[in-house]
Chains A and B, each alone.
Chain A
Amino acid sequence: MPAAQPVTLHVNGRSFAREVEPRRHLADFLRHDLGLTGTHIGCEHGACGACTVLLDGAAVRSCLMFAVQADGAEITTVEGLAEEGGALHPLQQAFRDHHGLQCGFCTPGMLMTLLSFLTEHPDADEHAIRDAISGNLCRCTGYESIVDAALAAAREMRSG
């Protein structure tokens, strides 16, 4: 097995230098090397979207890339979404207001996918939002409440 390699990742505004096996994927690295267990692993084949994080601002599946590939990158996980004082991000608040989560397992991936999408498309309509989360599976909600939360959050993010 190839030796562990040094990497430095900047996650939620903090820098982490670690030695990591080349085959360790980014999701495992975030969860088990950094203890950031808010990022969830649902399928490990890039289909469910639960592991979505922001990599240099773009939503990516952290199960589909290796930690060594993220060397030097800026990463945002669900832990980095709320403010320091604990105030929820408008998107998180909208999920609560609209019952956009049940078991909560797909939720971090949904939030990160929508954060990236709504930042780029603040005027997105329902159709566009449904397309945007087409790669995020949820078995609990039936998606409607997630869409409603996203629409409400988009309004809030536009006005704020």
Chain B
Amino acid sequence: MGVRYFGARVPRVEDPDLLTGRGRYLDDIDLPGTLEIAFVRSRHAHAKIRSIDRAAAESLPGVVAVLTAADLGAAEKPMPQFAPSPLIKQNRTHHILATTAARYVGEAIVLVVATTRGIAEDACDLVEIEYEPLPVMADLASALDPNAPKAHEDAPDNRAATLRGRFGNVDEIFARAPHKFAERIFQTRGGCHAMECRGVVAAEDALSGQLTVFSSTQAPYMVRRALAGWMGVDESRIRVAAPHVGGGFGPKAGIYPEEFAVTLAARKLERPVKWVEDRREHFLATNQQRDEIWDVEVAADDSGRLLAVRGRCLHDNGAYLPYGLILPATLLAPFPGPYALEALDIAIEVAFTNKVPTSPVRGAGRPNVAFVLERLADRVARELGIDRAEVRRRSFVRADQFPYKTGMVARDGSPVAYDSGDYHACLDAALDAIGVEDFRARQKRARQEGRFIGLGIASYVEDTGLPPFEGAAVKVERNGKVLVATGAASQGQGHATALAQITADVLAVPIESVRVKSADTASFPHGIGTIASRVAVTAGSSVHLASQKVREKAIKVAADLLEAAEADLVLEDGMVRVAGTDKSIALAEIARRLDGDGAMPMPRGIEPGLAATAYYEARATTFASGSNAAEVEVDPDTGAVKILRYVVAHDCGKLINPLLVDGQIRGGVVHGIGNALFERAVYDEEAQPLATNYADYLLPSAPEMPRVEIAHLEKPSPLNPIGVKGAGEGGTIPAAACIVAAIEDALAPFGVTFAEHPLSPEAILKAIRRSSAPR
């Protein structure tokens, strides 16, 4: 069969364009006659909109239109709920442009269209909005108090929903457990910060009435569904496509008011229009993640085995539920983590505040849950004087327990089951790699030299390959090249390479012959979106299945044309060959025959086209897992943290391309280190955002990032034909927990503990000063 691509470190097919400036991102789309859009956004976190005076803006030369919700026919019709759920208590979604009130700083109120973006922004400054400020819900901790200011002035309270996950008899276990420890944990808001901000280009074709929307999105099919539904237009009349997308990380997966507003403006003005989010708008108006306050309690036996966890999470969903309860629901999905708990009872209380809404950011709720569970596991170890790794070993699901039913219930009512893994092996691999044996001796020596080094460990599971499906169409073209089309969008993960590898193997063609098209509703009929580390599992399996169908069809036709038995045929080098002979026919020739070439009769019972479509229906999620270990040095005089080593041992099933998986893990870990040490969306008591540029909001940069050492343990998933699990978020999930644990270990002589992130130097110094322990 020749070269096998699956499992090899294949360089990316995407790279040549992206390295030479030939990428085509949203702002690179330049349709003739395009007008540019800028938004007037609320300066208040919560205010009534009394009046809007547009006269001065409208009279500025170059301004084409100054539009409010009413002008777009959107005054009475809020955005659709993207993810409906019976658990939503108050279904609050944005208006496309705010009408009677604005409920966070940055909420769009007026849309200005002009010949250039500069003029549109000039005109925004001339729009006079009279506000009546309202009490602001800024403090999450008090959001559900009866007297708290209401984020929505017309609402009974700030409660959006309550979710609950539980199994076993938690009260009974807590009653008999010899050890119980409670923690209050705070996790702060962080953001997306894809290097490319969001953006939308929309144009309506005057002749056909076809509406084309380009959006820098992770989910073009969702955007089409929402737009068509809201506008009452046939889906077939709307094409939504994502061009090259400069990073997604979650927040580009939802639907946004701007996608609607820009599309409606194009229809109203009968001109192509473009809006490109600038970085300040990204800080103000792109969904963030968290805040969360967790009050949790763990029960353990004398050996340190974790028995049960119970508690409550107060989750800040910001001013609206643009993404339903998806983010809070991902706070339940990862429980009970890698631990074979006997009982669990977690309530997630979802509250509204006057801040930009929250939705999943890389890992969604999973890093938060990993932080909670790992802080609890470390607490048990510390209190009982048992090694932290030993607490984990005694509590983990064992390798002989797969498939392991956790006790939790999936959305379709079926029991949640971990499909495969070896949590002990991952932990041991991480600890071996970081050199745990002599770490305490090294730590002791370092302390004698006045240096404080620490070791952190953190383990996790990740539900990946989210149902229900993705699909793929595989077609051999007349020239023998292979076209793969899928709905699954890409934001830099290298899907085109991974999917091409799968097809190239099944059809025995060189990878250079395969072209992958994705993320365009005009190219493939159905799609879900690139979220929840699901594309390798769902699209990868679909491409495998569709390629197999093409292979079977090629063999069937070749058997007819070569007068050979199907069993004697093999595929190699773009040919179907009778094994052991020189009788063969090229896939291109078969494709031409099935295209009606020369009006030759088709083989009987064969449909035209050497092509097939397949949908992989995921019935259950695949569970990736792993353990991380980090060594840090903390300067107790400055609070500075230096990460000396970082090790990942993980299992994401079979690796399609280790080069790509390594890239996903390293990028994910660094995102998690950002969560651990740097990234904090700061608001004042009036919910005014204070960090709206990269001087005030710190992203990880190269000098302070460690190398990430990676060990892959491949435990194939039995749930899909290629044995894979997702890898896009596993790097981020345990990273904050791991780094904070390492800092705590380094500062053990001071007796400080941490129950929050990010840990700035200031936070570390404060903790040291508060501590009464002698140096």
Interface residues of A (CB under 8 A from B): 21, 23-24, 31-32, 35-45, 47-48, 50, 77-79, 81-82, 88, 92, 95-97, 99, 101-108, 111, 129-131, 133-147
Q: In whole angstroms, how far apart are the Cα atoms of A82 and B246 in the complex?
A: 22
At the interface with chain A, which of B461-469, B473-481, B697-705?
A: B697-705
**Residue of A whose beta carbon sits closest to that of B278:** A44
Q: In whole angstroms, how far apart are the Cα atoms of A144 and B703 in the complex?
A: 10
At the interface, yes or no: B27 with Cβ under 8 Å from chain A? Answer: yes
At the interface, yes or no: B483 with Cβ under 8 Å from chain A? Answer: no
Q: In whole angstroms, how far apart are the Cα atoms of A134 and B19 in the complex?
A: 20
Whether B19 pairs with A111 at a CB distance below 8 angstroms is yes
Give the interface size class of chain B. Answer: 35 or more
- Out of B246, B660, B699, B703, which one reaches A103, CB within 8 Å? B246
4 tightest A-B contacts by CB? A38-B21, A103-B492, A105-B246, A104-B18
- Chain A contacts for B19, CB-based, 8 A: 78, 82, 88, 92, 95-96, 101, 104, 107, 111
- Out of A23, A31, A137, which one reaches B195, CB within 8 Å? A137
Whether B492 pairs with A50 at a CB distance below 8 angstroms is no
- Chain B contacts for A50, CB-based, 8 A: 195
Q: In whole angstroms, how far apart are the Cα atoms of A141 and B247 in the complex?
A: 11
**Residue of A whose beta carbon sits closest to that of B693:** A45
CB distance from A18 to the nearest CB of B (A): 15
Q: In whole angstroms, how far apart are the Cα atoms of A79 and B17 in the complex?
A: 10
CB distance from B674 to the nearest CB of A (A): 9
9 contacts between A and B (CB under 8 A): A37-B21, A40-B246, A99-B660, A102-B663, A103-B491, A130-B703, A134-B703, A142-B668, A142-B671
At the interface, yes or no: B772 with Cβ under 8 Å from chain A? Answer: no
Whether A140 pairs with B27 at a CB distance below 8 angstroms is no
Q: In whole angstroms, how far apart are the Cα atoms of A47 and B118 in the complex?
A: 21
Q: In whole angstroms, how far apart are the Cα atoms of A8 and B669 in the complex?
A: 45
Interface residues of B in 718-775 (CB under 8 A from A): 731
Q: In whole angstroms, how far apart are the Cα atoms of A96 and B15 in the complex?
A: 6
- Chain B contacts for A145, CB-based, 8 A: 662-663, 666
- Chain B contacts for A136, CB-based, 8 A: 701-702
- Chain B contacts for A105, CB-based, 8 A: 23, 25, 194-196, 246-247, 492
- A77-B21, A137-B701 given; name 18 further pairs at CB < 8 Å: A23-B118, A32-B30, A36-B21, A38-B23, A40-B25, A40-B246, A42-B196, A48-B694, A81-B21, A88-B16, A95-B19, A99-B660, A108-B21, A134-B702, A141-B666, A142-B670, A144-B666, A144-B707
Q: In whole angstroms, how far apart are the Cα atoms of A99 and B246 in the complex?
A: 16
At the interface, yes or no: B125 with Cβ under 8 Å from chain A? Answer: no
- Chain B contacts for A146, CB-based, 8 A: 702
- Chain A contacts for B135, CB-based, 8 A: none
Q: In whole angstroms, how far apart are the Cα atoms of A45 and B555 in the complex?
A: 59
Known A-B contacts A97-B11, A105-B246, A139-B667; A92 and B20 likewise in contact (beta carbons under 8 Å): yes
Which of B11, B671, B701: most chain A CB closer than 10 A? B701
- Out of B663, B701, B731, which one reaches A134, CB within 8 Å? B701
- Chain A contacts for B4, CB-based, 8 A: none
- Out of A78, A95, A130, which one reaches B702, CB within 8 Å? A130
**Residue of B whose beta carbon sits closest to that of A110:** B702
Interface residues of B in 676-700 (CB under 8 A from A): 693-695, 699-700
Task: Annotate B291-307 by CB proximity to A: 1 below 8 A, 0 otherwise.
Answer: 00000000000000000
Q: In whole angstroms, how far apart are the Cα atoms of A95 and B28 in the complex?
A: 23
- Out of A31, A139, A144, which one reaches B671, CB within 8 Å? A139
Q: In whole angstroms, how far apart are the Cα atoms of A78 and B16 in the complex?
A: 12
Whether A137 pairs with B705 at a CB distance below 8 angstroms is no
Whether B663 pairs with A107 at a CB distance below 8 angstroms is no
CB distance from A122 to the nearest CB of B (A): 19
- Out of B494, B671, B693, which one reaches A43, CB within 8 Å? B693
At the interface, yes or no: B530 with Cβ under 8 Å from chain A? Answer: no
Whether A31 pairs with B27 at a CB distance below 8 angstroms is yes
At the interface, yes or no: B622 with Cβ under 8 Å from chain A? Answer: no
Whether B27 pairs with A41 at a CB distance below 8 angstroms is yes
- Chain B contacts for A108, CB-based, 8 A: 21
CB distance from B521 to the nearest CB of A (A): 21
Whether A21 pairs with B11 at a CB distance below 8 angstroms is no
Known A-B contacts A47-B694, A102-B492; A144 and B708 likewise in contact (beta carbons under 8 Å): yes
